Amino acid sequence: MTDDVQATQDAEAAQAIPVQRSGAYERFLKCLMQGVFRPGRLVTQNDICEATGSTITAVREALKRLEGEGIVELIAKKGVILHEITADEVREIYQLRKLIEVPAVRSYALDHDPAEVETLRRKTREVMGAPMDTPEQRQALVQRRTKLDWDLHQTFLSALRSTLIDDIFRNLETRQMLVRLQLPPRYLSHGEAFAEHLEILDAIDEQLPEKAAELLERHLDTAQQRFLDAIEY
C-alpha cells in the first residue's frame, strides 16, 4: 500500500468518526420516539449499542451530548437514566415554544408552498382516521402521530431559516418526547391536537398570518394543559 493510499484511507476514517457519533445520537432519539427506552429507568451502554447498532465509542460521545442537553444522566460504571420531566419543565418548554413558533407560523403563512400544506393536511386526516382497535395498532399510531406532529411544527420553523433556532427547538421536542413516554397510552391516542392542526393549516392556506398565529398559540396552550393534566393525574 502506498503512502498516498494510506493517507487517503486515514482521512476517510477520520471523517467517518463524527458521522458515526452523530448517527448514534440520531438513532438514540429514534429509539426514544419508538419507546425503546423509558424515563427513570437505568439503561446500560451495551443496551444502547445493541438498540442503536452503534459502537461503544459512538454511543459514549452521543451520551455526552445528550447529558449536556439534559436528556440523560450518566451513572458511573452503571449506565444512564433518562431524565423525568416535571410539571414546571413542561411549562418552560411550552413558554419557549410559543416564543419561537408563533412568529414562525406568521412568516410561513405569508410564504409557503401550497403543495406542502396539502401534504400535511392529507397526512393529518389519515392519522385521524387510522384504526387503533388493538394494542399494536395503537402503538403504531402513536409513533405516526408523534412523527407527523414533529414534521408539522418543524415545517413552520423552516420559515425562520435559522439553524440555531432549529437546534433549540429540537432539544425542546426531545424533552417533550420524554413527557410523552411518561404518560399512559390513553393520553397519547387522542385526536384533538390534529383537528387543531387542520385549523392552523386552513389559516395558512388562506394566507391569514394573524389567525394562524392565534390558532397555534391556543393549540400550544391546550397541549400544555393536556400534558399537565396527565402528569398531575
Residue pair 178/41 in contact by the 8 Å Cβ criterion: no
Query: How would you class 66 by CB atoms within 10 Å of its CB: exposed for 0-12, middle for 13-18, buried for 19 or more?
Result: buried
For residues 142 and 178, membership in a common domain is answered with: yes
Model confidence band, residue 124 (pLDDT cutoffs 50, 70, 90): very high
For residues 131 and 203, membership in a common domain is answered with: yes
User: What is the structure's pLDDT at 19?
Assistant: 36
CATH number of the domain that 202 lies in? Answer: 1.20.120.530
Domain of residue 59 covers: 3-82
User: What is the structure's pLDDT at 9?
Assistant: 39
For residues 49 and 164, membership in a common domain is answered with: no
**pLDDT average, residue stretch 6-15:** 39
The pLDDT tens digits for 17-48 are 333 446 898 899 888 877 788 888 899 999 99
For residues 101 and 191, membership in a common domain is answered with: yes
- Choose the final residue of a domain: 18, 48, 82: 82
Task: Enter the DSSP assignment of 86.
Answer: P
Strands (E), the chain: 42-43, 72-75, 79-82
Calpha distance 63→74 (Å, rounded): 8
- Choose the final residue of a domain: 82, 107, 125: 82
For residues 78 and 64, membership in a common domain is answered with: yes
Between 33 and 189, residue with greater pLDDT? 33
For residues 41 and 119, membership in a common domain is answered with: no
pLDDT for 187 beyond 60: no
User: What is the structure's pLDDT at 101?
Assistant: 96
User: What is the structure's pLDDT at 132?
Assistant: 80
Residue type, 83: H
Angle, CA of 164, 219 and 176, to the nearest 5°: 50
pTM over the 0.95 mark = no
For residues 45 and 132, membership in a common domain is answered with: no
- Choose the final residue of a domain: 48, 82, 116: 82
pLDDT for 4 beyond 60: no
